[in-house]
Amino acid sequence: KYEVQKTLEYFRDCSNTIMNHYLLGTPLMIICDECDQLSPSVVLYFLVHYAKINIDLAIKLMKSKKVNIFDEGVRLYSLIKNSN
């Protein structure tokens, strides 16, 4: 439960940063070591909760830009989909 709360807090903080940069017109790069789960999950959370895009459509959009993300599926799918 603690890990879930911390993960959601991290996603919200990152999403706020993304939104602030967007509103200021400032470029922002979202990366992680392997770029397969963590950074794509941050972007997915942003698209679902801030841009209000359906999670499955958001995944398709992201994979159309970078095909080698979520190779093993979206590990945090239900967490992102069901969080408020």
Q: pLDDT digit string (tens) for 55-67?
A: 999 999 999 999 8
Amino acid identity, position 75: R
Q: How far apart are CA 7 and CA 45, in angstroms?
A: 11
Q: Which helix (H) or strand (E) holds 37?
A: none
What tens digit of pLDDT does each residue of 27-73 get?
Answer: 999 988 877 899 999 999 999 999 999 999 999 999 999 989 998 89
Q: Tokens for 3, please give them.
A: 């890990």
- Note the pTM of the prediction, 2 decimals: 0.91
Whether residue 11 contacts residue 42, with contact meaning beta carbons closer than 8 Å, is answered with yes
| Of 63, 74, 15, the residue nearest 41 (C-alpha) | 74
